[in-house]
Structure 1
Amino acid sequence: MEYTSKEIKCNEKLSIYNGASAIIVQSIISGFIPLFAIEVLDASNIQIGLISSLPSIMMLLSMIPGAYWINRLEAKKAFTGITIFAARFLFMLLMFVPLIQVSNQAWLLVVLIALMNFPTALATLSWQALIGDLIPDSRRGQFFSQRNRILTIVGMIITFGAGVFLDQFEKSNPFPFQLLFVVGFVFGILEVYYLMRHIEHKQKQEKPQQNIIKNLALTIRHKPYLHFLICAMLFNFGWQMAWPLFSLYQINDAHATALWISIFTVVNQVAQIVSYKWWGKSADKWGNSTMLFVCAIGMTTAPIITILTTNLYLLALSNLWTGLFVSGTTLLLFNQLLSVSPTENRTSFLANYNLMIALIGFIAPQLGVLLLEYLGMVKAMSISSVFRFIGGISFLIVVFYFEKNNRNKLFKASI
């Protein structure tokens, strides 16, 4: 059953409320967990790398049963809500880590972060399948650029406010972090509430794939999806390799405080806000793959310009520059994923994408930390830039070879 324009508008409004609640929790996790780990729990470089990569193992484990379960659901909303609540409850448990008397509390944090990402991965997969049903293809570009812009503003305000709040306390004081975890759980409840208010029509059940091999075979036979998947994996390898390195460099080398960490995030988000609309319009004009190449080239510069200085003001400017391309990357990767995933068996296509990116997400950060240990920060960051550049070139190859050939075939068929 198709959705009416009234139902689509209602779902778009609720999706923004749901996303705003979610971004508050995510801002706390992405912005301040590394600081909490290093300053409060005295985490090592290896543990910081594991915080970035171990969650991907849980995502890998969740994708196989997740695709099977979700494919059997006539309605995905309830399943999505349950998994989100489970993830936010585990997030709240982080507040107890400093209270548990063990020799190395940072390992408890690593384990909890990993466990939290099992329901998080299920929720992400289910939400992607749900929103793909609720928002028609003709509305996605405009809606998601608007939604991302609003969520970025919310995240910016929360991140800066949290940074100012944390800066009022000693770096090693766990109390302000514990309070943030409780606040995050409250907004997690709101996230579930707004999700459950979405209007969803039951869909005919898809026949579940029997195993991961058949599931993978189904998706790789669809060439547009396969081409996108290869490009996305190459780019994400270089992108995620540097994730723990940025945190380690900012905190250990540049000695950034909670306030400066929030400033870096805020200026990055300001750049995203002003550029979301442009990326959406440019993608409509030139295509997602073309603009993903532009984004990838911009992202290639991020590790290089970061290691040029330890001056906090210049690092803030580098985050401003990077934010211009982060917005396009996140928007276009998701839009292109939905575009190349057929409506039939869409959950299987989304699951395999998340599975492959999760595999990259485990290997790449660990390699980044390993390169840091043996080669130093400069060479590790430079290698990350090389992989990002290769990913960008792959998107360009898709544009000039595969997509061009497909357009030519369609043109000849119409004559």
Structure 2
Amino acid sequence: MDYTPQEICKNERLSIYNGAFQIIIVSFIGNFIPLFAIEVLDASNTQVGLISSLPSIMIILSMIPAAIWMDRFESKKKFTAINIFAARFLFLLLLFVPIIPMANQAWVLVVMIAVMNFPIAVSTLSWQSLIGDLIPDERRGQFFSKRGRILTIVGMFTTFASGLIINQFDSSDPYPFQVLFIIGFVFGLAEIYFLIKHIEYGAKPEKDQESMFKTIIKTFKHKPYFYFLVCACMFNFGWQMAWPLFTIYQINYAHATALWISIFTVINQIAQIVSYNWWGKMADKWGNSTMLFVCAIGMTTAPILTILTKNLYFLALSNLWTGLFVSGTVLLLFNQVLRVSPNQLRTSFLANYNLMIAFIGCIAPQLGVLLLDYLGMVKAMSISSVFRLLGGISFLLVVFYFENKRRNKKNHVNASV
């Protein structure tokens, strides 16, 4: 059943409210869990790397069963809500980690973060499929640009306020982090509330549905999707390889405090806020793949700019620069995977995409830490930049391939006439 314009507008509004509460929790996890691990729990480089990569293993383990389970639910939003609640409850349990015997604290955190990402991965897949149903293709670019901008503003204020509060305490004091975990759980309940308020016309599961494994294999035969997947995997390999390296460099090399970590994030998010609309307009004009190439070039500079100095003010400026391209990367990757995924098989295509990116996310951060241990920070960051650049070039090559194919087909038709 098609949604009316009024229902679509209401779902868009509710999605922004839902996303606002979600981004608060994501800001806590992404920005302060590594700091919590290093400063409070004395985590090693390996453990910090595992915090980045183990969640990807859980995503790999969850994608196939998640797609199968979701197809048995008439309501995707209820399925999403159940898994969000499970994830937020596990987030609340993190407040007990500091009272565990010291020798095991960091490893307990690593395991809990990994387990927490199972329901997170399941809810992400079901939300992507749900929002693809609720928001028509012609509105996605404009809507996701607006939503991304608003959510980034919320995340910016959350990060800055949290960092400012944490900075008032001793860096090894677990108390402010424990408060964040409690607040995060409360906001998680609000996140679920606004999700449940969405208008959804659930479809009854099909009894004769084809095997999920066979359907996912079919996704590789859909050329626009397959070529995008190859490019996205190459780019994400270089992107995710440096994630733990940035954290380690900022905290261990540049000696950034919680306040500086929040400043880096806020400045990066300000750049995202001012650039979201521009990326959406340019994507409408030039296409997602072309603009992904531009984003990749900008993202290539991030590791290089970081290792130029340990000066915190310069690192803040480099975060301002790279934030301009982060917004485009996140927006365009999501828009493109929805665009190249057929409506009737969207769940399977999204599951396969998340599965492959998670596989990359499992390997890349660990390789980044391994390169750091054997080659040093400069070479590890440089290798990350190379892979980002190759990924960007591949997006552009795909544009040329399909454009050339379209031109040859048009010439063939004209010749036949």
TM-score, structure 2 normalization? 0.97
Quote the offset at 1:100 in angstroms: 1.4
**What is the CA deviation profile of residues 322-363 of structure 1, one whole-angstrom value per residue up to 9, with x for unaligned ones?**
000000000000000000000011100000000000000000
Structure 2, gaps ≥5 residues long: none
1:370 paired residue number: 370
One-letter amino acid of the structure 2 residue matched with residue 210 of structure 1? S
- Point out the more displaced range, 135-144 or 70-79: 70-79
The separation in 2 between residues aligned to 1:406 and 1:337, in whole angstroms, is 20
2:400 paired residue number: 400
**What is the CA deviation profile of residues 14-38 of structure 1, one whole-angstrom value per residue up to 9, with x for unaligned ones?**
0000000000000000001110000
The separation in 2 between residues aligned to 1:237 and 1:219, in whole angstroms, is 21
1:136 paired residue number: 136
Aligned 8 A contact 1:71 1:345 in 2: no
Quote the offset at 1:405 in angstroms: 1.2
Aligned 8 A contact 1:71 1:348 in 2: no
1:64 paired residue number: 64
The separation in 2 between residues aligned to 1:104 and 1:268, in whole angstroms, is 34
2:386 paired residue number: 386
For residues 21-170 of structure 1, the aligned pairs below 5 Å read: 21-170=21-170
The separation in 2 between residues aligned to 1:104 and 1:337, in whole angstroms, is 40
One-letter amino acid of the structure 2 residue matched with residue 356 of structure 1? M
Quote the offset at 1:217 in angstroms: 1.8
SS at match of 1:104: helix
The separation in 2 between residues aligned to 1:186 and 1:406, in whole angstroms, is 52
One-letter amino acid of the structure 1 residue matched with residue 228 of structure 2? F
**CA 1:208–1:94 in 2, change beyond 3 Å: closer, same or farther?**
farther
1:310 paired residue number: 310
One-letter amino acid of the structure 1 residue matched with residue 384 of structure 2? S
Aligned 8 A contact 2:41 2:102 in 1: no
**What is the CA deviation profile of residues 178-221 of structure 1, one whole-angstrom value per residue up to 9, with x for unaligned ones?**
00011111111100000000000123535544253x23321011
The separation in 2 between residues aligned to 1:329 and 1:157, in whole angstroms, is 22
Aligned 8 A contact 2:67 2:212 in 1: no
**CA 1:285–1:41 in 2, change beyond 3 Å: closer, same or farther?**
same
One-letter amino acid of the structure 1 residue matched with residue 134 of structure 2? L
2:187 paired residue number: 187
SS at match of 2:42: coil
Quote the offset at 1:103 in angstroms: 1.6
Aligned 8 A contact 2:87 2:116 in 1: yes
The separation in 1 between residues aligned to 2:395 and 2:148, in whole angstroms, is 23
SS at match of 2:103: coil
**CA 1:132–1:412 in 2, change beyond 3 Å: closer, same or farther?**
farther
**What is the CA deviation profile of residues 100-120 of structure 1, one whole-angstrom value per residue up to 9, with x for unaligned ones?**
125231000000000000000
**What is the CA deviation profile of residues 345-387 of structure 1, one whole-angstrom value per residue up to 9, with x for unaligned ones?**
1100000000000000000000000000000000000000000
The separation in 1 between residues aligned to 2:381 and 2:328, in whole angstroms, is 22
For residues 203-214 of structure 1, the aligned pairs below 5 Å read: 203=203, 205=205, 208-212=209-213, 214=214
SS at match of 1:54: helix
One-letter amino acid of the structure 2 residue matched with residue 35 of structure 1? L
The separation in 2 between residues aligned to 1:405 and 1:395, in whole angstroms, is 16
What is the RMSD of the two structures over their aligned residues, measured on CA atoms?
1.2
**CA 1:410–1:337 in 2, change beyond 3 Å: closer, same or farther?**
farther
Aligned 8 A contact 1:84 1:123 in 2: yes
- Point out the more displaced range, 91-100 or 402-411: 402-411
One-letter amino acid of the structure 1 residue matched with residue 60 of structure 2? L
1:334 paired residue number: 334
